[in-house]
Structure 1
Amino acid sequence: MSGARPPRAPAWLALLGLTLGVCVTNGFARFAYGLILPAMREDLGWTYAEAGWLNAANAFGYVFGALVTLALSQRVPASRLFSVGMAGCAGFLLATGLTEDFAAQTAWRVLTGVFGAAAFVAGGALSAAMHRDDPRRNAMAIALYFGLGGGLGMVLSGAVLPFLFARLGPGAWPMAWLLLGGASLAFLPLCIWASESLRPPRAAPGAPRAARARLPIRAMAAAIAGYGCFGLGYIVYVTFIVALIASRDGGPGLVAATWGMIGVGIAVSPFAWRGIFARHASGRPLAMVLGVMTLGTALPVLTGSLAGLMVSALLFGLTVFMAPGAVTSFSRRNLPEPAWTAGVSLFTLVFAIGQTIGPVAAGALGDAFGDIGPGIASAGAILALGAGVSLLQKPLS
């Protein structure tokens, strides 16, 4: 039937299915690597640069995945991109726990990034289409998509993995990946069902195709540059904050508390930022997010105290998923609907390129100084630059 579509899910259930996608693509596939990294380094004898390379490999996959999603965005429904991306991401998370070979690990991290980028971008476009006639509810849906799922991923991984390693030692890292992959597969049916419920009906035979919308890249330059700085800076904190804690003799309880505080910040972040997203069509929301993140990134290096670490984790959690939320809201407010997926894909591409550089550069600094602190401090400086550049972004209309 030309107008057939799956039965519509309740809005809250559809949004839950999308947010579980972020739990997998970001909370598990990307951020949990920071929890598993110290065990892999110890068990496999890696340097900081080698450890950073695997996260860079994941980011290379994100670059390719964002490019493919950008190319397919106006030919393949976002719901299909989301479903395929989720299935691939879950499968390669499982594969990461099945080998010690560095080349194979690199391949699995690349492929996790490819499929994770497709799901992340498509899910953002699907959330942007919810409540399209109500700016405040739309802003809330976007913020919840990025914040709720990411927070859940951080809380779950932070509550389990540090104690797994404390009990079984660094050799338990394959089990950690298998646990994350198994949980991802358990989420998959709801994720796919939710995305299909948000798929727009197919056009009737003979109906004209919607014109392709061109992205005004020059007019978006400040927001794109600011988001690139976000990609460069945030990934350093995620990759190495646990290594910093370990280098200062922090135990699994402190690691779990830090990860849990980041997760709490992420879960609360949609309620803190929804009003700002709803009010501004400029680069101001992104600038504010990056400004707060700068402070959160710098605190553990500047203070070295437990209180500083906890405040740092909370501030980082309050902002890390609101940067993609800010650019998704910017795309929603400034671009025609046919260009939403392409806009989010472009931002994700620039962000992913930054991700490929950040971990390796920070890891090299850590190896040179014998301390990862200078690498994390440099990430804070880059985030501050991104905040300043983002303030230059004006609404497109």
Structure 2
Amino acid sequence: MPATERRSSAAERHPWLVLLGLALGLCITNGFARFAYGLLLPAMKAEMGWSYAQAGWLNTANALGYLAGAVATMILIGRISAARLFSIGLVTTTLALLATGLDPALWWQTLWRVLAGVFGALSFSTGGALAAQLFPDNPRKNALAIAFLFGFGGGSGIMLAGVALPLMLGWYGPESWPMGWILVGLACVVFVPLSLWAGESLRPPKTATRPAKASLPVLRMLPEIAGYAAFGMGYIVYMTFLSAWMTEQGSGAGLIASVWALLGLCLCLSPFVWRPIFARFATGVPLALILICIAVGSALAVVFPAGPGLAVSAVVFGLSVFMAPGAVTNFTRQNLTPASWGAAISLYTVVFAVSQTIGPVAAGWLGDATGDIGNGLLWAAGVLSTGALVALAQRRIGDDPI
């Protein structure tokens, strides 16, 4: 059997294993590359004497890199297959994470946070399009696959990092933060082989004719796009400053690790919560509901900053946050032709990348100005709530699902 045929049938023979590989890829580019920084931030801030604005800048630098990577994906998606971009992003993101722990200088940290964003966007932007190809004749399984990709993919990374990194810092002290980046990078090395195989399984045969590009009905997608922009601006504040907020409230390493582990566990479970909603609605309703839940979770951490309140916050936030990418991917699949899926998801990723560059610095500035980073978390909750109202205006595109 030719190699191209083996590749095309692997996803049919082992679709769940392929999905697991894709999800582990997002564990690398989303769970580790994007959010391990929030766990290491208090130690890095203390060791380097950063302000909240400086600490927020590194996540903004990562977001700027992510924006560059998302734009690059939009340009390259018509020339290079989604599977190849996915694989390139995995390998380079792993190298960037390993390099982050080698030098504490701000310029070095900025460089690798930017590059982790660039490379991570290549895989994140294409992972959804690849997962949308699984179970093409079963809408319920397809909805679960998309939800699983983002929920388990990001959630497993946060759960693993959330358990290990705070305990490591508590045991070895804040000066051990470089070791944290090395451990994260080594975990990526373990996950990469299966993820590369999964992406290769969905690469089209070389003899396949590339489908013609389809135009996007951008004006008819505006409420969904605007809601996703609010998601990008708001969610990142919680992920960036939760540990810093808990540290300010006197939380110890054990409580911080427990809350992050609970957050990661709920992220892993979130696909099963939202699958029925994804399968039922082809409008902006799923995204609106998700944004409201994220807003409530963000606010609860400030209003009830003790252990029980933080636990509830982690559950509400965790069961919702990574379902926002799943919501727009599901909306894309149900309303647009397959030829336009890659371009549509890349557009959402660019909008998301632009908006999330604002969140960390704005919240950090508000925290510095008021002396309370909790105000930044409340501001983010307001942004997310506004986005939910806008997303509700999104209607179905066309009379029938595609």
TM-score class, shorter-chain normalisation, is over 0.9
Q: Tell me which residue corresponds to 1:16.
A: 20
Q: Offset at 1:167? A: 0.9
Deviation per residue, 1:294-334 (Å, 9 max, x gap): 11111111222322111110111111110000001011111
Once the two structures are TM-superposed, the CA of residue 38 in structure 1 deviates from its matched residue by: 0.3
Give the secondary structure class of the aligned counterpart of 1:215: coil
Q: Which residue of 113, 116, 123 corresponds with 2:117?
A: 113
Is contact 1:2-1:203 (8 Å) kept?
no
Which residue number corresponds to residue 97 of structure 1? Answer: 101
Shift of 1:201: 2.4
Q: 1: CA distance between counterparts of 2:322 and 2:99?
A: 26
Which residue of 186, 190, 203 corresponds with 1:199?
203
Residue number in structure 2 paired with 1:330: 331
Alignment of 1:165-204 (within 5 A): 165-203=169-207
| TM-superposed deviation, 1:2 | 9.5
Task: Report SS of the residue matched to 1:8.
Answer: helix
SS in 2 for 1:319: coil
Q: Which sections of structure 1, spanning at least 5 residues, go unmatched?
A: none
8 Å contact kept, 2:139–2:279: yes
Give the superposition deviation at 1:103: 1.1
1:137-169 residue CA offsets vs partner (Å, 9 max, x unmatched)? 000000000111211111110111111101111
TM-score (norm 1): 0.97
* Secondary structure of the corresponding residue to residue 30 of structure 1: coil
Matches within 5 A, 1:158-169: 158-169=162-173
Give the conservation status (yes or no) of the 8 Å contact 2:246–2:305: no
- 2 CA distance for matches of 1:215 and 1:370? 45
Which ranges of structure 2 fall in alignment gaps of 5 or more residues?
A: none
Choose from 24, 33, 39 the match for 1:35: 39
**Is 1:280 aligned with 2:281?**
yes
Instruction: Say whether the 8 Å CA contact 1:59–1:356 is kept in structure 2.
Output: yes
Q: What is residue 299 of structure 2 aligned with on the other side?
A: 298
RMSD: 1.2
Please report how far the alpha carbon of residue 202 of structure 1 lies from its aligned counterpart in structure 2 after TM superposition.
3.1
Report the Cα distance in structure 2 between the residues aligned to 1:120 and 1:42, rounded to whole angstroms.
31
Is the Cα contact below 8 Å between 1:4 and 1:202 reproduced in 2?
Answer: no
1:6-45 C-alpha deviation (Å, 9 max, x unpaired) = 2615111101100001111111111111100000001111
Measure the CA separation in 2 of the matches of 1:377 and 1:367.
14
Helix, strand or coil for the counterpart of 2:357?
A: helix
Asked if 1:313 corresponds to 2:314, the answer is yes
Letter in structure 1 aligned against 2:62: N
- Quote the sequence identity (%): 54
Distance between the aligned counterparts of 1:216 and 1:107, measured in 2?
Answer: 36
Q: Which runs of 4+ in 1 moved over 3 A?
A: 1-5
Shift of the 253–338 alpha-carbon distance from structure 1 to 2, 3 Å rule, reads same
Name the residue aligned to 1:365: 366
Which residue of 143, 147, 158 maps to 1:154? 158
TM-score, structure 2 as length reference: 0.96
- The separation in 2 between residues aligned to 1:332 and 1:65, in whole angstroms, is 23
1:255-276 deviation line (CA, Å, top 9, x unaligned): 0111011111101100000011
Measured in 2, the distance between the counterparts of 1:189 and 1:305 equals: 41
SS at the partner of 1:219? helix
- Which among 140, 145, 163 is matched to residue 144 of structure 2? 140
- Which whole-Å CA distance do the structure 2 matches of 1:375 and 1:148 have between them? 27
Q: Distance in 2 between matches of 1:392 and 1:80?
A: 36
Give me the whole-angstrom Cα distance separating, in 2, the residues matched to 1:304 and 1:262: 15
In 2, the alpha carbon distance for the partners of 1:150 and 1:71 equals 25
Q: What residue is the counterpart of 2:88 in the other structure?
A: 84
- Which deviates further from its counterpart, 386-395 or 8-17? 8-17
8 Å contact kept, 1:93–1:178: yes
Question: What residue is the counterpart of 1:122 in the other structure?
Answer: 126
Specify the code of the residue in structure 2 equivalent to 1:297.
S
8 Å Cα contact 1:61-1:114 kept in structure 2: yes
Deviations 1:332-366 (A, max 9, x none): 11111111111111111111111111000100111
Q: Distance in 1 between matches of 2:322 and 2:305?
A: 25
1:4 deviation in Å?
Answer: 4.2
Partners of 1:56 and 1:359 within 8 A in 2: yes
Q: 1:130, CA displacement in angstroms?
A: 0.6
- Find the counterpart in structure 2 of residue 26 from structure 1: 30
**Conserved? CA contact 2:152–2:267, under 8 Å:** yes
Are the aligned partners of 1:130 and 1:138 in contact in 2 as well (CA < 8 Å)? yes
279-288 or 302-311: bigger deviation = 302-311
Partner of 1:222: 223
Change (3 A) 1:178 1:391: same
AA at the equivalent of 1:33: Y
- Between the aligned partners of 1:57 and 1:326, the Cα distance in structure 2 is 26
- The offset of 1:5, in angstroms, is 4.8
Amino acid at match of 1:392: A
Given that residues 294 and 384 in structure 1 are in contact (C-alpha distance below 8 angstroms), is that contact kept between their aligned partners in structure 2? yes
In 2, the alpha carbon distance for the partners of 1:49 and 1:203 equals 51
For residues 52 and 2 of structure 1, what CA distance do their matches in structure 2 show? Answer: 47
Displacement of 1:210 in angstroms is 2.2
